[in-house]
Amino acid sequence: MTDRDLHLGVALAPAGHHPAAWRLTEDRTRLWNPGTYAAQAKTAAAARLDFIAVDDSFAPPSGLVRETQGTLDAVAISARVAPVAAGIGLLPTVTTTHTEPFHTSKAIATLDYVSSGRAGWEAKVSDTAAEADHFGRKAVAEPEELYAEAEDAVEVVARLWDSWEDDAVIRDLPTGRYIDRGRLHYIDFEGPHFSVKGPSITPRPPQGQPLVAVRADADAALGLAARRADIVRIAPGNPDAAHTRRAAVRRAVADAGRDPDRVAVLADLVVHLADTDAEARKGLEGLDRAAGRPWRPNAALFAGTPEALADLIGRWHRDGAADGFTILPAALPSDLDAFANRTVPILRESAGFRREYPGATLRDTFGLDRPANRYAGTVTR
Amino acid sequence: MTESFQNAQSSDRTRPRKQIHLGAHFPGVNNTTVWSDPDSGSQIEFSSFVHLAQTAERGLFDFFFLAEGLRLREHRGRIHDLDVVGRPDTFTVLNALAAVTDRLGLAGTVNTTFNEPYELARQFASLDHLSGGRAAWNAVTSPDAFTGENFRRGGYLERERRYERAAEIIAVARLLWDAWAPDAVEADPATGRFLREGAVEAFAYLGAQFDVSGTFNVPRSPQGHPVIFQAGDSDQGREFGASHADVIFSRHTEHADAKAFYADVKDRLGRHGREERDLLIMPGVSFVLGDTEAEARENAEEVRRKQVGPQTAIAFLEQVWGQDLSHLDPDGPVPEFDPETADVHITRGRVRHQQDQSSIAQRWKAIADAKELSIRELVIETTARLQLVGTPASVAAQIDDYVQGDAVDGFILVPHLTPGGLDRFVDEVVPILQERGSFRTEYTGTTLRDHLGLAPAPTKRGTPQ
């Protein structure tokens, strides 16, 4: 990563990230068909993008009847596309506030198995009362507490991944032992929000440690990102803001005793593409009219040609505003198709974007080694 | 099983042949699964799951089934190391299998104690969407504090409250699955509306176990409600199955016993306003095939010896005697002394039968004396679960007779080997079941409800046509 390879992911959504994007899709009453996500994932994999990100939350639908509503579980979507979209990383969001870290750990480990080493997860907090009411177990907490809990969850998930050493299954006929129990480890985590004994029920995943992504727009999230993230997502409005935020993230990573060059800071970028700038802008205006309100996404919004987008991406990357981008297509599949088929080929020429995946795993894609097991050589009680 | 097969003639020869339902159980984390065989493959690599699921679909099975256990078993205070161990996350594997199969139902155990209903309802609705209507949930209750050490709620559930929680979690899940009207998504450019006004209802549930409210965020899934499996066996468990479940994963396999269980549970349905066809009884059963009956019996004995190796035999004995017996010779005699302490459970994290240990020990000693068995031979004998053993033709006949004789509606087959343990059954037994007119020759529907002959799930507004 020290040579600052360009990283590009795409955030999937059933119809697109614009709330009225359903108007442009063909199969609009069947947006949750598996084929919808599989087609998007295949397009992204064919373009050799780093990953697909699938956002998630337990938040209720907005109730705005003109806008796309309904979300499926992000790990489920990622698992459903894993066998049909080869090579690409899978980065579902999993929230940490109301979920069980034990379940999260085995879910992502299993995603790593079904994808042969292409899994990661984005840890996100649930910060609304509506989500808390869906669970009815605790009140909504302050951001500092939510992120402290998230950090504990990330720690537990990571320990559970290591709770089996790679060679724990021995199938030793003379002694009748299937496993060497000395290579399985209790994690004995105790914290204010939960205690988890371990070991995992799932053996160590192919990557050892699947990647961890954290969104670090909020200052409360910066510590978690600095200490735990392999991928940091930011949503700056312009290159200057990106530059500033990336620098802050890198400083925080260094302060946490980690190498900033081993953490990719990726900017969200909403895109709507057309053959001319005017046409792209007109398209967005049409979607806004359909939604009955102007859409102000919480990230930089690009409406223009695929060629101009390549120019912008190359510039931000070159200038150190970001190590790459998570593309949020306003309309799917059209904006992803245009990005994959027209923008990406230009970036191969202009910004050295990859032609093939460097290896089989998502860690390979990000230039990260397979980590040693923290418990290797330690004695199981 | 041969004897009971003789008695298993259908009582009513005029009615149409019942159709057999079949499930394929991924080999479990216990000593039924033979790992010492050269053909035993990975218990965790995705390719093993794909192989079994695609084999089951080739055999036109109703569903693939995956069990779950949320803490590794321990024996004498240490992780049990003699059996296959290590399993995936249920939802994640089933969703991935949806990508490599088209019609096969995808059933998995998910615990009712260590999950919350909003999240769980969402996960099953998602699986149902992403599989085109093939999801099933085996709702298993668990009261134990041992497993609870891996979870937030820690602690545990008092034994008598576990069905309360299971009933409530299913009730909340059904409330959520019904929250979106079937026609909620209008997506009509003419009106500009994606959602029909008022088509997504808020929910509120207050019970002894849950106090939850809000709005569900997943549209109604293809099956409306995923198929619900249940495995409880106590009176409370049977009542729970009769009122809540679509399929009972039963343990009753001996013919007369199975028939009694079948009659008992089906009798209960009327009290809950349900009909016979609304609930299927499917015991789990293993099988061993051979070219001749004699060869099949030999194969079965070989499998049993692999399932109960010398160390496993001692471990079983320790479980009953409640103490360290590692000094004993597995090929030697059963100990004369009594279990040291009554009801010491030295194995944790597995299903236990509610029987006191000293009486089991007495019974075991009596059997060993009568038949002059070594420790290992005794354990092979006493821990045997019913298997379908025979030639493909005789195994097909046994299955068919159980079904036509109203002892079961079908079987969940548990192969001994991962991943190829079902291959021969599909290649050689299924065609015979088809020739007998008792098993489908093609899938006629797309959803698991279709395969099982279950009515569509009712909506809030009544039963869909």
- Identify which of A255, A305, A314 has the alpha carbon closest to the alpha carbon of residue A283: A305
Q: Provide the pLDDT for residue A2.
A: 41
pLDDT of residue B46 exceeding 60: yes
The predicted model gives A123-152 an average pLDDT of 97
pLDDT higher than 70, residue B2 = no
Identify the band that residue B331 occupies on the pLDDT scale cut at 50, 70 and 90.
very high
Decide: residue B271, CB within 10 A, 0-12 exposed, 13-18 middle, 19+ buried. Answer: exposed
Q: Do A136 and B211 touch (CB under 8 A)?
A: yes
User: Looking at residue A348, which CATH number applies to its domain?
Assistant: 3.20.20.30
Higher pLDDT, B413 or B387: B413
- Categorize the per-residue pLDDT at B322 as very low, low, confident or very high, splitting at 50, 70 and 90: confident
Region B365-369 average pLDDT: 93
Neighboring chain B residues of A28 at a CB cutoff of 8 Å: 187, 194
- Chain A residues whose beta carbon lies within 8 Å of the beta carbon of residue B130: 32, 34, 37, 72, 76-77, 80
* Lateral strand order in the sheet of B78-79: B78-79, B74-75, B347-348
**Nearest-CB residue to B219 (from A32, A81, A290):** A32
Give kind and range of the element (H or E) at residue B322.
none
* Residue from the list A38, A110, A177 with its beta carbon closest to the beta carbon of B89: A110
Structure confidence by residue, pLDDT tens digits, B7-17: 444 445 567 89
pLDDT band (50, 70, 90) for residue B459: confident
**Mutation for testing the A interface, residue in B76, B92, B147 having most A CBs under 10 Å:** B92
A215 touches chain B (CB under 8 A): no
> Which residue spans within B361-426 are E strands per DSSP?
387-390, 410-413
Residue of B nearest to A149 (CA): B152
- Cβ distance B44 to A113 less than 8 Å, yes or no, reads yes
Q: Domain segments of chain B: what residues? A: 2-293+386-452, 309-382
Output the average pLDDT for chain B.
91
> Residue A77 and residue B130: Cβ atoms within 8 Å?
yes
Q: Which of A22, A23, A178 sits opposite B84 (nearest CB)?
A: A178
Chain B contact present for A106, CB below 8 A: yes
Closest-CA distance, B187 to chain A, in angstroms, reads 6
Q: What is the number of CB-based contacts under 8 A between chain A and chain B?
A: 221
Q: Which residues contact B117 (CB under 8 A, 6 or more apart)?
A: B168, B169, B172, B173, B176, B210, B212
The nearest alpha carbon in chain B to A61 belongs to B217
What are the pLDDT digits (tens) for A289-327? 999 999 999 999 999 999 999 999 999 999 999 999 999
Cβ separation of A109 and B200 shorter than 8 Å?
no
pLDDT for position B1: 41
The residues, any chain, with a CB within 8 Å of residue A335's CB and separated by 6 or more, are A16, A271, A272, A273, A329
Structure tokens at B327: 């000094």
Task: Lowest mean pLDDT of A211-220, B7-16, B198-207, B401-410, name the range.
Answer: B7-16
Q: CB–CB of A32 and B180 under 8 A?
A: no
In a domain, residue A32? The reply is yes
pLDDT, residue B460, reads: 74
Q: What is the pLDDT of residue B16?
A: 87
Residue A95 pLDDT grade (very low, low, confident, very high; cuts 50, 70, 90) = very high
Range of the domain at A127: 7-365
How do B227-230 and A51-54 pair as beta strands?
unpaired
Do the Cβ atoms of A102 and B150 come within 8 Å? yes
Tell me the shortest Cα–Cα distance from B210 to chain A, in angstroms: 7
State whether residue A42 sits within 8 Å of chain B by CB: no
Q: Is residue A376 part of a domain?
A: no
pLDDT higher than threshold 90 for residue A21: yes
Does A202 contact B44 at a Cβ distance shorter than 8 Å? Answer: yes
Interface predicted TM-score (ipTM) of this complex, two decimals: 0.97
The residue of B109, B127, B129 whose CB has the most chain A CBs within 10 angstroms, and thus the best one to mutate to test that interface, is B129
**Residues 255-294, chain A: which have Cβ within 8 Å of B?**
290, 292
For residue A333, say if its preceding peptide bond is cis, omega within 30 degrees of 0.
yes
In a domain, A70, yes or no: yes
The pLDDT tens digits of the residues spanning B285-311 come to 999 999 999 999 999 999 999 999 999
- Mark yes or no for CB contact B130/A23 under 8 Å: no
Q: Which residues of A touch B125 (CB under 8 A)?
A: 72
The three-state secondary structure class of B8 is coil
Q: Which residues of A touch B98 (CB under 8 A)?
A: 34, 80
Mean pLDDT of B402-429: 97
Q: Is residue A112 part of a domain?
A: yes
3-state SS track over A277-327 = HHHHHHHHHHHHHHHCCCCCCCCEEEEECHHHHHHHHHHHHHCCCCCEEEE
Chain B hits for A103, CB-CB cut-off 8 Å, are: 89, 114-115
- Is the four-CA dihedral B55, B57, B60, B66 of positive or negative sign? positive
Within a domain: A1: no
DSSP annotation string for A194-227: -EE----SSPPPTTSS-EEEEE-SSGGGHHHHHH
Q: Which residue of B has its CA nearest to A106?
A: B89
Contact A70 B217 (CB under 8 A): yes
Q: What percent of chain B has pLDDT over 70?
A: 93
Q: What residues of B are in contact with residue A179 (Cβ under 8 Å)?
A: 79, 81, 85-86
Q: How far apart are the C-alpha atoms of B338 and B317, rounded to whole Å?
A: 12
Identity at B445, one-letter amino acid code:
G
A82 to B96: CB separation less than 8 angstroms, yes or no: yes
Q: What local confidence, expressed as pLDDT, does residue A245 receive?
A: 97
Q: Quote the minimal CA–CA distance from B308 to chain A in Å.
A: 10
Look at residue B465 in the predicted model and tell me its pLDDT. 41
A-chain residues near B189 (CB < 8 A): 23
Flag whether A2 is in a domain: no
CA-CA distances (angstroms) from residue A124 to A135, A214, A232, B300? 16, 7, 12, 52
Instruction: Choose the closest CB to A135 out of B116, B125, B192.
Output: B116
- Closest chain B residue to the Cα of A136, Cα to Cα: B212
- Measure the CA–CA gap between A335 and A44, rounded to whole angstroms: 11
pLDDT at A1: 40
pLDDT class for B6, splitting at 50, 70, 90?
Answer: very low
Q: The tokens of A370 are what?
A: 């397979």
Q: Mean pLDDT across the stretch A191-199?
A: 96
Residue A77 near chain B (CB below 8 Å): yes
Which of B70, B186, B210 shows the shortest C-beta gap to A136?
Answer: B210
Closest residue to B86, CB basis, from A80, A103, A202: A202
Question: Are B192 and A116 within 8 A, CB to CB?
Answer: no
Please say if the pLDDT value at position A187 is more than 70.
yes
Residue A381 placed within a domain: no
CATH no. for B2-293+386-452? 3.20.20.30
The residues that bridge with B24 in the sheet, in sequence order, are B64, B413
Asked whether the beta carbons of residue A110 and residue B92 sit closer than 8 angstroms, the reply is yes
Q: Which residues of A touch B312 (CB under 8 A)?
A: 176
